[in-house]
Amino acid sequence: MIKGIPASKGIGIGKALVYKEAEDSNKFAGRKVTETEIENEISRFKAAHEATGKKLDETKIKASKVLEEKDLQLFEAYKMVLNDPILNDMVLANIKTQLLCVEASVLEAVGKIKAMFLAINNEYMKQRAEDVENVGNYILDALLGRERIDLSHLEEDTILIAKDLTPADTVGLDKKHIKGFAIEKGGETSHTAIVARTLEIPAVVGCGENIMNISSGDSLILDGETGIVIINPKATEFEEYSAKFLKHSTEAEEIKQLRDKSAETRDGIRVELVGNIAKPEEASSVLEKGGEGIGLFRTEFLYLDRSQLPTEEEQFQEYKKVAESMGGLPCIIRTMDIGGDKQMKSLHMPAEENPFLGYRAIRICLNEIEIFKTQLRAILRASVYGKLKIMFPMISGIEELREAKKILGEVKAELNEKNIPFDQSLKIGIMIEIPSAAMIADLLAKEVDFFSIGTNDLCQYTLAVDRMNEKVSYLYNPLHLGVLRLIRNIIEAGHQAGIKVGMCGEMAANIENAVILLGLGLDEFSMVPSSIPYVKRAIRNITFEKAKQIAENVMKMENTKQINDYVKERLYAD
């Protein structure tokens, strides 16, 4: 058994194929030439350099069919290294002044540059050292006329064993027959690891030299979750992993199939299952996981870690990106929620004694009206590219909400005057995350189009618990009856006024909690995209009637442990 670094999940069972480089270039190390051969060596280097550039371009074109844009950037990095003046000057100097042959000159230069990167002790630089080595290998391939083993036609159930794999090796990879990778070198962010995760093939990297002692044809089991490679497994091991394999593949299959299904209970009650995102690029993962929209788009990324405020145009571009990538599905944009634990350099905010009870979110917006208006204008302008909604955070009372709406009205009037188009029927909602707002939800409901319950803050304010404080964090608990009653009050008040009530806190992502919330009548569940399939499965497996009954009983219980035990029993016992 060999233990490496787990790089891509899943169980691989199959036969080993050991992939070795055709000719070891190390034998050229230090080999000298005579002065009369210098010219010839230089022109060999130039030819090999050019051939490598072409090869990289070709490989990139082939790879563009299999890999995503961000993985393709690797080829750009390789080309930058190939054309780098330091590398080229070093190789030429080795030939001219050290009288080394080209191969030896390349090896020497690559070794030296790798050492320069490794001298800066961090993971990123280690990966760059690998890039340089890979580029060196490409040049040596061209010099030696080395062809790599063709991986585009493999035998059934192949597990590939190699020292290291480069994009050139993996580009035409026979995806149908490959069942796993076990690689001597590399870390979690190495090329093989990235490819394996993209293709969803199990992989273990950083296995060490012993992995190369495996012979082609050996029977192998590879566990991409624990990083274990078993060589010629015993019958018991084989059985154990076959069962794991089956479980893993049925679950993955089931989740894939859930993607296009709605979040509907067995008795036909449909709710909305949507995702929380913090950057426009994350919108695609919401769709991949089967989300039907975005329930919370946090806009803080535009304000944090920078010394200047974001311009209207910059914000507009980001909101437009999200609107377009959701293709007509709703996206709730929350106006900036700075303050609390998120500070903004451009505002020079003084330190506060109680930042969570201080100057944050809508409170800043109502004071720094220009900042607020800039954001609202950007959102409104982007609203013609999809279905956007606006949500105000940290509303504690009715005056604040009216003030925010008044400012929004001013921005709308201004846009209308200038004939700048926006969605005139754009929906407005608020986060309910302060207990006072929860208590007057009936009044607030008359003023907005939707509510979204923010359980993280609602919990901490209701229970007076800082969950970052280890001494008291045990008190933080969304199933505290005090919190549950507030949630019920918010949902009922919303429904009485005829508006939808959602939740965008972590509570909605937990299956047992989600069932209680379903029973309480929650309309929309918003969560990290990766949780969507699991909550969807739970909703599809229960009837609304049963969820309602569970919720009713839960509301009569006194403590959390009792609630937890009861919900688990009702969910999993029968």
Partner 1 sequence: MLTKSFEITCPVGLHARPASILVSVAQGFKSSILIKYQDKEVPANSLIGVMTLGAETGQSVEVTISGEDEEKAMERLEAFFEKELKDL
Closest distance between partner 1 and the C-beta of residue 117, in Å?
A: 6
101 is catalytic: no
Point out the catalytic residue in the list 49, 191, 248, 480: 191
Kindly tell me which of 113 and 388 has the beta carbon lying closer to partner 1: 113
Alpha-carbon gap, residue 406 to 418, rounded angstroms: 19
> Hey, what are 567's tokens?
């919900």
> Hey, what are 4's tokens?
């490496």
Kindly tell me which of 310 and 529 has the beta carbon lying closer to partner 1: 310
Point out the catalytic residue in the list 101, 331, 459, 504: 504
Three-state SS for 288-326 is HCCCCCEEEEECHHHCCCCCCCCCHHHHHHHHHHHHHHC
> Hey, what are 285's tokens?
């993962």
Which residues make Cβ contacts (< 8 Å) with residue 366, sequence separation at least 6? 372, 400, 403, 404, 407
Neighbour count for residue 528 (Cβ, 10 Å):
17
Alpha-carbon gap, residue 60 to 51, rounded angstroms: 14
Kindly tell me which of 132 and 151 has the beta carbon lying closer to partner 1: 132
Kindly tell me which of 84 and 300 has the beta carbon lying closer to partner 1: 84
Closest distance between partner 1 and the C-beta of residue 120, in Å?
A: 5
Closest distance between partner 1 and the C-beta of residue 317, in Å?
A: 15
Neighbour count for residue 549 (Cβ, 10 Å):
13
Give the strand order in the sheet containing 203-205: 2-3, 228-231, 219-223, 11-19, 158-162, 178-183, 203-205, 5-8
Alpha-carbon gap, residue 558 to 552, rounded angstroms: 13
Task: Judge whether 497 and 446 are in contact, CB under 8 Å.
Answer: yes
Kindly tell me which of 139 and 550 has the beta carbon lying closer to partner 1: 139
Closest distance between partner 1 and the C-beta of residue 116, in Å?
A: 4
Kindly tell me which of 36 and 308 has the beta carbon lying closer to partner 1: 308
Alpha-carbon gap, residue 313 to 379, rounded angstroms: 10
Closest distance between partner 1 and the C-beta of residue 128, in Å?
A: 7
191 is catalytic: yes
Is 442 buried (19+), middle (13-18) or exposed (0-12) by CB count in 10 A? middle
- By DSSP bridging, strand 219-223 and strand 228-231 are antiparallel
> Hey, what are 278's tokens?
């913090």
Q: What angle do CA 519, 524, 526 make, to 5 degrees?
A: 115
Which residues make Cβ contacts (< 8 Å) with residue 486, sequence separation at least 6? 435, 438, 439, 458, 462
Closest distance between partner 1 and the C-beta of residue 403, in Å?
A: 32
Q: Which residues bind partner 1 (CB under 8 A)?
A: 80-81, 84-87, 113, 116-117, 119-120, 124-125, 128, 132, 305-308
Kindly tell me which of 128 and 381 has the beta carbon lying closer to partner 1: 128
Kindly tell me which of 136 and 180 has the beta carbon lying closer to partner 1: 136
Closest distance between partner 1 and the C-beta of residue 187, in Å?
A: 17
Closest distance between partner 1 and the C-beta of residue 312, in Å?
A: 17
List active site positions: 191, 504
